[in-house]
Amino acid sequence: MKKDFTILGIESTCDETSAALLRGGKTLVSNVIYSQIEEHKKYHGVVPELASRAHAAKIAAVIQEALQQEHIDCVAFASGPGLPGGLMVGRVAAETLATYKQIPLIGVNHLEGHLFACDFENGEVKNRLKFPLIALVVSGGHTELWYVKGYGQYKVLGKTRDDAAGEAFDKVAKLLGLPYPGGPQVSKQALQGRRDAIAFPRPLLPGTWEFSFSGIKTAVSYYLRDHRDINVPDVCASFEQAMVDTLVAKTLLAARKYKTNYIAVGGGVAANSLLRQTLEQRAGKEHKTVFFVDRKLSSDNAAMIALAAYKKLEYAQATGKPLRPNININPNMKVRSW
């Protein structure tokens, strides 16, 4: 690839319409994100039909703003996992542009994007990640633990059996009458509460690397049903602590088991301050380093999609292996080694 090889990334898997330009696998020239939060707020969650319509309405303008009349060499888009309508909009936009410009089109896995987002620092790709590492990808739609040997070399250890971590935050927020998205709201309330006020469960599911958060959420709903005079900050603080303890315990267990000193955390929930502090502190005691995604790139964005595509191209070039274009959309796409 030439030095200034420029990739246009497109992201539309859930409720952010985003386009970004990445030059030379290094410099983020633009990263335009249109968030649909206002459209979904009154429903306390993402409404797929509304999301598809909003993506369709915004994608052309978002791409135009990101392009800034720059030359591009490749178009990359998130081809899964995600909501079918949004994926379709992203694919059509990406394919139309790539066909018109006669340049390559690459589909990338959205979750891989969340991991690679950890490589950015202040708008530059710093290749911070060190391998092998344990990756914790925690978002509104997914919670997964992977053993990652190197870029594109994955072993998926476990996923959530029910709610994703962000989804649990969103549902608890809804139970408490707090606005969507729930994560930041619950966190804010938690700052005024006591973390040991209520003993919510820590579902560790020993013997598996899977997660299950619906039990914590149900425990919160029973607590609210069975008590009068609810102290919202105490509920938030105790719930957040239970979520964080569970995520941290399993991640550290995996790092020990797979004998690695590196951990990476990406996805919307990676913005959570208690998770960041607790994992950093507990991992530090075991001389393990944690790479957290920059908060600006923790939520869905196209910068991470462009970088994932760049890494795939770089890998194909270095190894001589054919690149799998992966352009068929797949709402349930699994993470696969390259």
Task: List interacting residues with ligand KG4 (CB under 6 A).
Answer: 14, 139-141, 166-167, 169-170, 181-184, 187, 267-269, 271-272, 299-300
271 binds, among Zn ion, ligand KG4, none (CB under 5 to 8 A by kind): ligand KG4
Supply the angle between the helices 214-226 and 165-175 in degrees, to the nearest 10.
Answer: 10
**Closest distance between ligand KG4 and the C-beta of residue 5, in Å?**
27
The encoded tokens of residue 242 equal 């239970």
269 binds, among ligand KG4, Zn ion, none (CB under 5 to 8 A by kind): ligand KG4
**Closest distance between Zn ion and the C-beta of residue 267, in Å?**
6
299 binds, among Zn ion, ligand KG4, none (CB under 5 to 8 A by kind): ligand KG4
Burial 58-82 (b: 16+ CB within 10 A, else e): bbeebbeebbeeeebbbbbbbbbbb
170 binds, among ligand KG4, Zn ion, none (CB under 5 to 8 A by kind): ligand KG4
**Closest distance between Zn ion and the C-beta of residue 51, in Å?**
13
**Closest distance between ligand KG4 and the C-beta of residue 73, in Å?**
27
Query: Which is nearer to ligand KG4, 234 or 300 (by Cβ)?
Result: 300
Query: Which is nearer to Zn ion, 200 or 213 (by Cβ)?
Result: 213
216 binds, among Zn ion, ligand KG4, none (CB under 5 to 8 A by kind): none
**Closest distance between Zn ion and the C-beta of residue 234, in Å?**
30
**Does residue 200 contact residue 242 with C-beta atoms inside 8 Å?**
yes
**Closest distance between ligand KG4 and the C-beta of residue 298, in Å?**
7
Q: Residue 170 interacts with Zn ion (CB under 5 A)?
A: no
Q: Residue 160 interacts with Zn ion (CB under 5 A)?
A: no
Residue with smallest beta-carbon separation from Zn ion = 139
Q: Residue 301 interacts with Zn ion (CB under 5 A)?
A: no
Query: Which is nearer to ligand KG4, 73 or 280 (by Cβ)?
Result: 280
**Closest distance between ligand KG4 and the C-beta of residue 47, in Å?**
14
CA distances from 52 to 74, 84, 261, 334 (A): 24, 8, 41, 22
- Rounded CA-CA distance 329/338 in Å is 17
**Closest distance between Zn ion and the C-beta of residue 48, in Å?**
15
Q: Which residue in the set 11, 112, 245, 300 belongs to the binding site for Zn ion (CB under 5 A)? A: 300
- Rounded CA-CA distance 329/63 in Å is 19
Q: Which residue in the set 18, 139, 241, 251 belongs to the binding site for Zn ion (CB under 5 A)? A: 139
| Number of amino acids touching Zn ion (CB under 5 A) | 2
Interacting residues toward Zn ion by CB under 5 A: 139, 300
